[in-house]
Amino acid sequence: MDIQTVLRSLKTYWPDLPKKDEDLVLRAYDFAVQAHKGQIRNNGEPVIQHPLNAAYLLTTVHADPISLAVALLHDVPEDTSVSIEDIEKEFGQEVAVLVSGMIKVSKVRYYGDDQQIENLRRLFLAMASDVRVLFVKLADRLHNMRTLDGVKPHKRSRIARETLEIYAPIADRLGIYQIKCELEDLSFKYIWPADYEDLDKKMSREYGHREKYMAAAKKALADILRKEKIDAEITGRVKHLYSIYKKMKSKGKDLEEIYDKFALRVIVKNIQVCYGALGAIHATWRPMPRRFKDYIAVPKVNGYQSLHTTVFPAPCSELKGQSIRPVEVQIRTLRMQEEAEFGAAVHWLYSERKQSVPLSSAQRAWIEDLARLQKSTASNPELAKELLNDIFQDRIYVLTPMGDVRDLPKGATPVDFAYGLHTDIGHSCKMAKINGKIKPLDYELQNGDQIEILTKSEATPNHYWLTFVKTNNARSKIKAWFKAQNKTARLNLGRKIVDRELERLNLGSFVKLSPIKKKSLLRELPYATTDEVLMAVGDGSLSPDYLLRKIFSRNDLLVKRKRQRIIPRLSRFGKAKLDKIVVAGVGDVLIHLKECCDPQPGDQIIGYITNNNGVSVHRKDCPVVKSITHKERLISVSWEKEQQDVYHAYIKLQAHDRSNLLRDITALLSSLNIGLHGVSSHHQEGKGDVDINLTLNLSDVGLLNNVMKKLEEIEEVYQVQRVKQW
């Protein structure tokens, strides 16, 4: 790589590059050459080759000249005697600030969630100070990953995992698709080398088989659009390896069952023609059910826009003699294609070009979220994990009642959504309507859900919310609300929470703890008195589980928790005994037998999920149960039965395939207390349907008809039948 190659690449998208900007890049290169003179990288190349390659990579995402100058200079202060002050004197404050940001990022070493938050904060603040630091760091990391073989073996896996968990998600959120994909594939290669090699070989073989088919499909598609007088550029695309690998793992599918490994991309002149092309394709080629996505009407959070559809090409002369396979077609404008490839870099062009447009609102909001972290001063060991969940984990996209798109971490709840709208809405949140139906506040939101938050002026945050919210924003606001309450209320609430946990594990109460344990506790925690400890629990800044781990040994807690579902009590005859209650689908849960109906073994019982007191158990005929308004909180519970004969029932289920189908089936069986002995599935070739074979554990033959009826009610299931055996 040489500097003239970098400049030629820069001028392909900046043909009117001002002389002063070209001089800036050249001066930065000359300065870096002198500073790094005589230095050699681990792979034997001169050190200057790394900043040169980083600068060239930035030109592939259309970065501005200042970013290129920073890329050329970013290692100089760390690896030479040149200081930041020297760089500022030579190149000005703007370049010096960006180089300084790069130095901060380079000092971070990510080893997992257990690292101190200060390291992550330095990274975030450096990135948030100027978004161009992100671009330069991504280019720096990509070239380092390309040359990772020159690094000592024991470091490769750590660097690759850091890349996969930190830098690839940053590239994704900024919409820089080409860098994101290559970072993921290179990380995949070093973290799971055997899986990478196996998938790479399979894809190479399949590409050889597919190449002729895709060329024929491309020609046939061009004929369809030409007949409709639609001007289009058609290219092919191969999905990158890690994306295929992740989809295979998450969906439990074989390579043959992944339909979008190869795609045809159609570039047209405007949005109207996008939909016109879609209509022409669907009129000729049969679309595959539930495989159409309109990212033009509802863009992804990183600004990505396109139409995606999977179709079965109709027989034609081009495809004569070939087996018809489904083909994914992506339709977009040239502008959408540029943003898909270059992402936020398209928006961040040098201001003097007068061609820049604002970052998307979601991109800017994300960067602003990073900047807000600098206001946090508490060093909380649990905060690192929360921040990773908030910023880097998979996202879901939901809708407000007005149709606005909001993005949240996967697993987020209506409470997270409410606090994302406004603090007051979160504080007064009473219930939520999801797609027009009332759902509990701990409901896990799904992609595409439309959410309406119902509030009441007298409603207040519930301590139980802290057990299920996923965003740091919601958690911090809930904790702040509790801290604002008076000390007596916080103390009483904290004592109640701790005593409830101790009683649940048959460990007494807090007041009965020995003085030795209390003194030891104050040495372990940053509080002066035990009242301060209880107030911290009451306002949510200290979890009761963390507190118990400081009081008791790990083995003591494990033994107690294994017994926690066993409820000691007096029977109505005054005879001491242990009655066991099983809560369907729930393991670790606090259970209370209610005195209003005094349920006994053999009674038909039902559970009710309370706000902050676990599950209360009633007889099914209890008047209190009949008066309950929130029926969605009722949950199946039963007395644990003695060992009895169990037989297998074999059920064949046929359905139109969709995401979360198997999850819904297992959740239904769990709610009915039906054991699942085995499950297998087979996709019907070319139909988009799936056969699912279930082996159920049943103790009562009378249950089977009801189970089959419930299975038929699951969305997209169209046939359920009993068979003799597999």
CA distances from 639 to 557, 582, 703, 714 (A): 25, 6, 17, 27
SS3 assignment, position 141: helix
For 559-562, the CB contacts below 8 A with 24+ separation are: 560/505, 560/506, 560/507, 561/505, 561/588
To 5 degrees, how large is the angle CA 214–CA 240–CA 233? 45
pLDDT of residue 355: 44
Residue 354: partners with Cβ closer than 8 Å, 6 or more residues away: none
Same domain, residue pair 401 and 470: yes
SS3 assignment, position 574: coil
Same domain, residue pair 608 and 664: no
Which of 191, 219, 244 lies at the terminal end of a domain, its last residue?
A: 191
- Expressed in angstroms, the distance from the first to the final Cα of the chain is 62
Looking at the 3D structure of the chain, how many domains does it have? Answer: 6
pLDDT of residue 120: 58
Segment (H or E) for 247? helix 241-251
Beta strands in 223-326 (DSSP E): 233-238, 262-268, 286-287, 293-294, 307-312
Same domain, residue pair 667 and 520: no
- Tell whether 85 is covered by a domain: yes
Same domain, residue pair 202 and 319: yes
Give the ranges where 652-700 is alpha helix by DSSP (H): 661-671
Active site residue 79: yes
Where residue 428 sits, what CATH number does that domain have? 3.10.20.30
Same domain, residue pair 235 and 257: yes
Cα separation, 418 vs 428, whole angstroms = 9
Same domain, residue pair 45 and 83: yes
Which of 137, 157, 191 lies at the terminal end of a domain, its last residue?
A: 191
pLDDT of residue 590: 65
Please spell the DSSP secondary structure of 16-83, one letter per residue.
T--HHHHHHHHHHHHHHHHHTTT-B-TTSSBTTHHHHHHHHHHHTTT--HHHHHHHHHTTHHHHSS--
Same domain, residue pair 528 and 602: no
pLDDT of residue 426: 93
pLDDT of residue 579: 45
Cα separation, 493 vs 309, whole angstroms = 54
- Tell whether 380 is covered by a domain: no
- Phi and psi of 591, rounded to 5°? -120, 140
Same domain, residue pair 129 and 250: no
| Residue among 2, 23, 30, 78 flagged as catalytic | 78
The amino acid sitting at 232 is A
Average pLDDT per block of 10 residues along the chain, 726 residues long: 93 89 95 92 88 94 91 92 92 92 73 52 61 88 92 84 85 83 94 91 76 82 92 86 86 76 88 93 88 86 84 74 77 86 55 46 60 49 58 71 78 93 91 86 85 86 86 87 78 84 80 83 83 81 77 64 42 35 57 72 76 74 77 75 59 82 79 76 73 78 75 82 72
Same domain, residue pair 625 and 588: yes
- Tell whether 693 is covered by a domain: yes
- Tell whether 383 is covered by a domain: no
Where residue 246 sits, what CATH number does that domain have? 3.30.460.10
The amino acid sitting at 202 is K
Structure tokens at 642: 């003695």
Where residue 692 sits, what CATH number does that domain have? 3.30.70.260
Residue 171: partners with Cβ closer than 8 Å, 6 or more residues away: 138, 177, 179, 180, 183, 343
| Residue among 23, 79, 223, 640 flagged as catalytic | 79
- Tell whether 570 is covered by a domain: yes
Which of 562, 593, 619 lies at the terminal end of a domain, its last residue?
A: 562
- Tell whether 360 is covered by a domain: no
Q: Considering just the CA atoms, what is the radius of gyration of the chain in Å?
A: 30
Same domain, residue pair 11 and 122: yes
What domain range is 403 assigned to? Answer: 394-482
- Tell whether 316 is covered by a domain: yes
Cα separation, 157 vs 397, whole angstroms = 32
Same domain, residue pair 540 and 581: no
Active site residue 78: yes
pLDDT of residue 186: 95
Same domain, residue pair 37 and 118: yes
pLDDT of residue 114: 45
Place of tokens 């790069």: 102
- Tell whether 382 is covered by a domain: no
